[in-house]
Structure formats: structure tokens, C-alpha cells
Amino acid sequence: MNKIDAIRAVDLLSPLSDIDKALLASEARIRNFERGETICTEGELGRTFYILGLGTLVVRRGKPPVDVATLKPGAYLGEMSLLTGAPRTATIIALERSELLELDRPVFLRLFSQNPPLAQLLSDQVARRRGRLEEVQGEVERLRLLQERESRDIFGRIRKVFGLGE
């Protein structure tokens, strides 16, 4: 994986200068995950940000876990936890052997120390992404509730047709 190309492709990092992106690339670590291996777990605190270079990941949320998304190369994850200290909002698992670029909190601290306005620019980017994710999650929850209601309705009709008791 070419680190600088992976970083350049991430819209969240678009406000960074080429020098900032080169700093990220120089400090980034390539991590390999095997099929079925967990990259991060919902509810845990995280200090890392990942960019998917190779492979496919599944995003799972809730208890019991529900698959809510599939991530392909170019996707990124972990930005909220890394930047805000919030717990991870999902569990991410490799569906196949995957290669990710890992960036940790100290490199972002150096960036923000050298360029304080960058923190505001990244917070704007994260807020936009979070808004889009919440819209998608709201739609997933709405569809789940519709499916539950439909299942109850169908079950009620089956009971009626076959004369089954409560």
C-alpha cells in the first residue's frame, strides 16, 4: 500500500497540506488483519484511525450485533474515537485478509500543535460525516422496526388462518 496515496484519497484529511499528509504517511503503520479478526470493538476507547487499503471489512452495531455496512478499500474508520475520545461506535471485523494504514493520536497532536486551525477544519469534516452516518443509521433502525411490525402482522394472520391460539 502506498501510504501517501491512501492518505490523499481520504476526504476527511483533505484540509491537510501536502506537508501534513507527508508527516502522516511517515508515521503511519501498515497493519494486516486476517479473515475474522477484529480491528476494533464497539464501546472500547480508541486511539487509532485506520484507512483500508486492501480487503473487505464488516461494520457491526448493537446487541445482538447487526451488520450495518461493508467497507471496501479507500474507506476509513476510527476518526471519532481518535479525535474526540468517544468510545468506538461499532465493531469492525475483517471479512478477508485486509491491509490497513494505522495512524495514532500522537501524530495528530503534532499536527495540531504545528497548525492549530487544523483541529477546527477536521472537526467540521467529522461533523459532516457523522451527520451522514446518523441519517443512514436512522434509516436502518426505521427499516428494522417496519420489519418487526410486518412480522407481527404476518404472524397474526397465520394464527387467524390456522386457528392457532395466542
Q: Please report, to the nearest 10 degrees, the dihedral formed by the alpha carbons of residues 47, 80, 89, 66 taken in order.
A: -110
What's the confidence (pLDDT) of residue 2?
Answer: 93
Which CATH number do you get for residue 121? 2.60.120.10
Judge contact between 42 and 81, C-beta under 8 A.
no
Given this model, what pLDDT does residue 91 score?
Answer: 95
- pLDDT, residue 68, reads 86
The sheet carrying 66-71 orders its strands as: 38-40, 91-94, 57-61, 66-71
Taking only the tens place, the pLDDT of each residue in 27-36 is 999 999 999 9
Give the chain's domain count: 1
pLDDT attached to residue 64: 87
pLDDT for 133 equals: 66
- pLDDT recorded at residue 100: 98
Relative orientation angle of helices 105-114 and 18-27, to the nearest 10 degrees: 150
What span, in angstroms and rounded, lies between the C-alpha atoms of 84 and 81? 5
Nearest CA to 48 among 28, 62, 70, 25?
28
Peptide bond into 64 cis (omega under 30): yes
Return the pLDDT at 59: 93
The pLDDT of residue 136 is 67
Q: What is the pLDDT of residue 55?
A: 97
| Domain enclosing residue 47, as ranges | 3-162
- Per-residue pLDDT, 166: 67
Enumerate the H helices of the chain as residue ranges: 3-8, 18-27, 79-84, 105-114, 117-162
Low-confidence ranges of the chain (pLDDT < 70): 129, 131-133, 136-137, 166
pLDDT at 132: 65
